[in-house]
Amino acid sequence: MRNIRLVCFACSLALFFSAAALHWTHWTVIDKASMMLLSYGIMFSGFAGAWLCFPDGLSVSRKIALIVLISLLARILMMAVPVSDDVYRYLWEGKITAAGESPYRFPADHAHYASYRDTYWERMNHKDKLTAYPPLAELVFAAVSSMAYTPWAFKLVFVIADLCLIGVLIALLKQYGMDVRNTIFYAFNPLTLFAIAGEAHFDVLMVLAVMLSVLCLERRAYAWSWLWLGIAVQIKIAAIVLIPYYLWRCNWRYSWVSLAPLILPSFYFMDTLPNMLHGLWAFGGMHAFNGPLHSVIDYLLQREDVWATGVTIVLFGSFALWVNRTVNSPLKAAYLLIAALVLSSPVVHYWYILWIFPFIALYPSLSWLVLSLTSGVYFTSLYSVERGESWYLPVWAMWVMWLPFLLVLAYELRFFASFKRRPAARWQKPETLSVVIPALNESRQIKNCLLAVKSMQRQVDEIIVCDGGSSDQTAAIAKQLGARVVSTQSGRGTQIRAGLEVANADVVLVVHADCICGTDVSQKIMNVLARSPDVVGGAVGQRFKTSNIRLFVIEMLNDARAALGGASFGDQGQFFRTAAINKMGGFPDYPLMEDVELSLRMMGIGRTVLLDGGIRNSARQWQQAFVKRIWLIVKLVFVFRLNRLLQRDVTQKLYAIYYGGKK
């Protein structure tokens, strides 16, 4: 299986790098719009494949080295993408700032700046509007422009910042005990690459400062956290939405530290700085473009942009108040607040979505990944420029960009109502771990399973085998190997529940009898639960003992479903806090679909995660009728989920169907 995975990973990288290399060809000159769209789509395919096919068996340090190397090469290739016309504003405003002028004094087309006009000024957008960039951003522009008055200078600086951001993400993932593979959701995403290494948008500086602030919070470095937050606000005003939460929950006594980056750069522009508010209002308050929530409200209010902006501000403020009152994790709060800001903003360019994507490495989400794919349609706007018309994004493109995302997001938010405005639970650090093994006539498998569990580096506190009435030596073998045997009725959910009733540990790992645990599985579980108080459980991740392309497809589907949908299967090694199980009414004692029900219940009370694997299981059930079995599982899960919505228990019927209609 490892060779298949490596081949598929190599093919994914070939797609990924080929898409980036297209921008060095003459085709981009002939038809830039089509090449941007083609490159974006191919690159997304390579990005998705790279995450799904990422090599197994690498140490954490080798994973990091591989991700960073690929990220660096991709950014070098993407530097051939033409810069956005925003970069010409960075250059020109940096030039006049370095010359002692203030970009806040007049709009760029004012006669006062006539002597500074050059080719970059000619290519600027919105020369008739005052700048909306904060003072620290202007000073950064001045510094970079002074070093080299060329767009390549900004590309280089922003790519360096982008690589630093990848480093911060890796540090955060390690801090929370999560799989560093998830860095790929940001590092290889075409949205990230086009926005930063390609078009050179400076938003990466704000995002880097925000993530550094969150990292410092997690390490209790409150002064540094407030300092980085102040820097983020001074780079892009959008980060100001985090200040109320920080004051509420993040040791406000250190808030004075943020005054240094907030005030000191402003002194340089003190006499003209109030004009920045006019620039902000001109770009955001009086102008509307592609905002999903704002556009709907604007339509309902018959195109009254100002009123629509006011309504979205009220809605955002209400949501922010809810976050302040209920969300304990600064990381999650920053994610929710910035995501809400983007969705409620009157103006949303595709690179604004970049603000959210570092958080997707820590909170994987199918909806945001869908949006990162559909955001590629933004480049259809280039067709209007190629025709010699004014730049515009067609209305149909906005629908294509937002509608799939909103549909998937609505599905993901189905658990939101279950929180009932209560504060999110922060669970205690776990100390003990039980392994529960449901078994029925598994005398050929149970010994290897138990030996693997007993060989884990972090010793488990108890092993419970739940025997469902075996007619072979399953129970006897388990007793010989020191496991506690609980006799119960058959049916996996019933068996597991019986085991949990006698378990005494803080955490339970459910392992099927035909599975083999890696030596580090128990340590991974305890690490992620100790370091992530909002995580209630999840899945370890599985690989088959035997190798073929069909089984590899199953592995990829299992990973994607568990990571992006939160729904894991029992053979992936489900684990959970016993306190969380008690809170949700106990383990579901279904004869079938108990694993799906467990996942749904866990997502209803907290966060679930997928670790980086460590469970190897038998492929005996996939040896025959492969396609038929996939169809059977899809059908059974669909029927179960549908009847669950209707509050009907059909698990006995599904059990009979799954096991050949014998019951």
- Full-model pTM: 0.93
What's the pLDDT at 277? 83
Q: Are strands 462-467 and 484-487 parallel, antiparallel or unpaired?
A: parallel
Confidence of residue 438 (pLDDT cuts 50, 70, 90): very high
Instruction: Go through the domains of the chain in sequence order and give each one's CATH number.
Output: 2-419 (no CATH), 433-623 (3.90.550.10)
Instruction: Name residue, tokens 């809400």.
Output: 340
What's the pLDDT at 1?
A: 57
- The pLDDT assigned to 425 comes to 67
Longest dimension (CA), the chain: 94
pLDDT at 102: 95
Q: CA 435 to CA 615: how far, in whole Å? A: 13
How, if at all, do strands 515-517 and 615-617 pair?
Answer: antiparallel
pLDDT at residue 267, rounded to an integer: 93
pLDDT at 124: 92
Is the pLDDT confidence value at 662 over 90?
A: no
- Hey, CA dihedral for 310, 315, 318, 322, is it positive or negative? negative
Closest CA relative to residue 474, chosen from 456, 455, 459, 495: 495
Burial of 289 (0-12, 13-18, 19+ CB in 10 A): middle
Of the chain, the end-to-end C-alpha distance in Å amounts to 36
> Is residue 482 packed enough to be buried (19+ CB in 10 Å), middle (13-18) or exposed (0-12)?
exposed
Q: Are 316 and 291 in contact (CB under 8 A)?
A: no
**Each residue's pLDDT tens digit, 399-422:** 999 999 999 999 888 765 554 445
Residue range 325-359, pLDDT digits in tens: 988 899 999 999 999 999 999 999 999 999 999 99
Cα–Cα dist 47/314, whole Å? 38
Element (H, E) at 216: helix 203-218
The per-residue pLDDT for 443 is 93
Determine the pLDDT at residue 424: 60
pLDDT, tens digit (0-9, with 9 covering 90-100), for 141-197: 999 999 999 999 999 999 999 999 999 999 999 999 999 999 999 999 999 999 999
The residue ranking higher by pLDDT, 612 or 424, is 612
What's the pLDDT at 381?
94
Q: Considering the chain, what is the average pLDDT of its residues?
A: 92
* pLDDT (0 to 100) of residue 420: 45
Selection from 105, 133, 200, 127 nearest residue 160 by Cα:
200
Separation in Å, CA 286 to CA 134, 282, 314, 627? 19, 5, 17, 56
Specify the pLDDT at position 421: 45
Output the six-digit token pair for 61. 């340090």
The residue type found at 27 is: W
CB within 8 A of 648, min separation 6: which ones? none
**pLDDT cut 90: percent of the chain above it:** 78
Structure tokens that stand for 203 in this block: 């938003």
Element (H, E) at 421: none
What's the helix, strand, coil split of the chain in %, to 5? 65, 5, 30
Average pLDDT estimate for 30-37: 92
Q: pLDDT band for 59, please (50, 70, 90 cuts).
A: very high
- Read off the tokens for 129: 């509007």
Bridge partner list, 536: none
CA-CA distance, 584 to 586, in Å (whole number)? 6
Query: Average pLDDT of 478-482?
Result: 94
- What order do you get walking across the sheet with 433-439 strand by strand? 484-487, 462-467, 433-439, 507-510, 574-577, 535-539, 607-610
Residue 83 pLDDT > 90 = yes
Tokens matching residue 399 = 């629908």
pLDDT digits (tens, 9 = 90+) for 101-131: 999 999 999 999 999 999 999 999 889 989 9
Q: What is the DSSP letter of 465?
A: E
256-273 confidence digits (pLDDT tens):
999 999 999 999 999 998
**Residue whose token pair is 């059930």:** 621
**What mean pLDDT is predicted for residues 235-255?**
94
Q: What is the DSSP string of 64-129?
A: HHHHHHHHHHHHHHHTTSPPPTHHHHHHHHHHHHHTT--TTSS-TTSGGGGGG--HHHHT-S-TTS
Q: What 8-state DSSP symbol labels residue 360?
A: H
Q: Which long-range contacts (CB under 8 A, 24 or more apart) does 471-474 make?
A: 471/441, 472/441, 472/442, 472/443, 473/443, 474/439, 474/440, 474/441, 474/442, 474/443, 474/446, 474/513
User: Residue 209's Cα: distance from chain center in Å?
Assistant: 18
Which candidate, 425, 424, 430, 426, places its Cα nearest to that of 527? 430
Three-state DSSP class for residue 489: coil
In angstroms, the CA 35 to CA 107 distance is 34
pLDDT at 663: 39
Is residue 81 within 8 Å of residue 29, measured between CB atoms?
no
Chain segment 591-627, per-residue pLDDT in tens: 999 999 999 999 888 899 999 889 999 888 887 788 8
